[in-house]
Chain A
Amino acid sequence: GAVVSQHPSWVICKSGTSVKIECRSLDFQATTMFWYRQFPKQSLMLMATSNEGSKATYEQGVEKDKFLINHASLTLSTLTVTSAHPEDSSFYICSALWGQGGETQYFGPGTRLLVL
């Protein structure tokens, strides 16, 4: 149980294009999902909290118009990187809250984005 998938696992795009990343909870419903960014050999940086049916809450310094998050159903959250630039190249990981107390995050396998 508590499996989270991400699609795509790899994406290469040209500068100026938009890229959408999907995060799905496969065997449970997740009212809350999180989006992280990870730079090489570093820890995870929380970008935003995604709540089903409401607007995402962004961390300080994260541009909400740049990183659009939609959580339209209890099993799907999407992150769209708009007008991507090379500095947006990174490893993006999502997680979903699940558990008896709802306190445990289960992580997706990550999406590697390379902007040329």
Chain B
Amino acid sequence: AQSVTQLDSHVSVSEGTPVLLRCNYSSSYSPSLFWYVQHPNKGLQLLLKYTSAATLVKGINGFEAEFKKSETSFHLTKPSAHMSDAAEYFCVVTLSGTYKYIFGTGTRLKVLA
């Protein structure tokens, strides 16, 4: 069965420092993986997706993620945090044979001035 684990419920970084949001997945097949961002009282915005092409995926707003099959990880990174990056981030894996999403529990990113 597929599952996704976001290892940190909260992450705090200072503005201008790197961001690392961790995500591990479990899947018996080659999964599609996504990162979404949700600002307060808003819908979800797609940051990036992995669908079995390049393992290093570049997304919007300077974010990128690397698919590591050996570690079953799909961590999200950004070299330099901006105040506007403060939000909730969700790692997502698709349910095998469907287009349904399995969501992680989310990581709240706080950016300190």
Q: Which residue of A lies closest to B42 (CB)?
A: A109
Given the known interface contacts A43-B104, A105-B99, the answer about A93 and B49 at a Cβ–Cβ threshold of 8 Å is no
Chain A contacts for B41, CB-based, 8 A: 91, 110, 112
A97 contacts chain B at the CB level, 8 A cutoff: yes
For chains A and B in complex, what number of residue pairs have CB atoms within 8 angstroms? 47
The size class of the interface chain B forms with chain A is 20 to 34
Q: Is the CB of A103 within 8 A of B99?
A: yes
| Total interface residues in chain A, CB < 8 Å | 24
Q: How far is the CA of A46 from the CA of B103 in the complex (A)?
A: 10
Q: Pick from A6, A49, A104 the residue with the most CB of B within 10 Å.
A: A104
Chain A interface residues toward B at CB < 8 A: 4, 6, 32, 34, 42-44, 46, 49, 91, 93, 95, 97, 101-110, 112
Please, could you name 7 A-B residue pairs with CB atoms under 8 Å apart, sorted by A? A43-B104, A43-B105, A101-B51, A106-B46, A107-B45, A110-B41, A110-B42
